[in-house]
Amino acid sequence: MTERHIIRPSEANTRDVFEYALLRVVPRIERGECVNAGVLVYCRAQSYVGARTHLDEARLLALDPAADVAGIKAALGAVEGVCAGGEAAGQAAVDDAGRRFRWLIAPRSTVVQPGPVHTGLTVDPAAEAERLLDLLVR
């Protein structure tokens, strides 16, 4: 455990609980190989849901030279749109942040799949999404 995760009784806890899941691209479902391509972050206390994506095309094409790169990028963009809300979210636009996150992390057997959900503490969930993208995807 690192120092940044320790909360001392004398310190005010200004951090909020957040949940996150990786977005994985599985170009050939039958093989089960995947490339991490994004991260979803949800913080209930701040009504925040966000996605950051980065597709490493070379890694993807190493797993499947025939992968539909444009289609996968479109699917990742759609996830970002659902998180952003508004018109880009389609029917999910009327849902709250938590409901959109739960819908996005529901298990599915498509090329873009969510991984397991993990938790942490943060002051800034948007910055946490960037940190996790750098740590786990790039």
pLDDT per residue over 121-136, tens digit each?
A: 999 999 999 999 999 9
Residue 56: the pLDDT is: 96
pTM of the predicted protein model: 0.84
From residue 124, give the alpha-carbon distance in Å to each of 2, 3, 20, 39. 19, 18, 13, 15
Q: What is the pLDDT of residues 17-50, one digit of tens each?
A: 999 999 999 999 888 899 999 999 999 999 999 9
